[in-house]
Amino acid sequence: GAGSIGREIAAVLGGLGMEVVGTARRARQDSAFARVHRQEDLPALLGDADYVIVAAPLTDDTRGLFDDRHFRLMKPGAVFINVGRGAVVRTGALLGALDSGRLAGAALDVFEEEPLPPEHPLWRYPNVMLSAHMAGDFVGWRRALGDQFVDNFQRWRRGQPLANPVDKARGYGRR
């Protein structure tokens, strides 16, 4: 994903000297990324990536996107990271890629089945890091949320465009 979260990830990783390539609904220039490709180009890009980080929203286009085919296209020894939505990944396909040794490992904070049951096989993989999804939880979040509400209310009263609008048809924020 090359939205706001993807851009933040790209900025941090780019600052560490990594070349970061993104995908989005359409190709575009974005200073946080070396390139942003169309989502349809993802299969052709997977074989070059040492790390694949999913920060995509859950839409009809992304549901189950990472399936057996996409994991087979990934570079052998790559690491898969999902901080987006659990249902973007078919867990059975991820387990198959881990079992085959195709993936060096994975880091996940979202899951196809949530909460992840204590008996789930993902808990037993030494090369898989699991964490709780804490997307908006930070010190001062209540104040920040209140400030954002007040700002949007003032924009609405002045007839200005609102910050962070969500396109309900697409299921995520507009850009």
| DSSP H or E segment with residue 91 | helix 91-99
Nearest CA to 28 among 58, 61, 1? 1
Round to whole Å and give the CA distance between 7 and 47: 22
Active-site choice (26, 114, 155, 170): 114
Contact in structure between 75 and 46 (CB atoms under 8 Å) = yes
Contact in structure between 105 and 79 (CB atoms under 8 Å) = yes
Round to whole Å and give the CA distance between 24 and 78: 21
In 32-158, DSSP assigns E strands to: 35-38, 51-54, 78-82, 103-108, 128-130
Round to whole Å and give the CA distance between 161 and 15: 32
Residue 39: what residue type? Q
Active-site choice (25, 72, 102, 133): 133
Active site residue 174: no
Active site residue 112: no
Active site residue 40: no
Q: What is the CA radius of gyration of the chain?
A: 18
Q: Which residues are catalytic?
A: 85, 114, 133
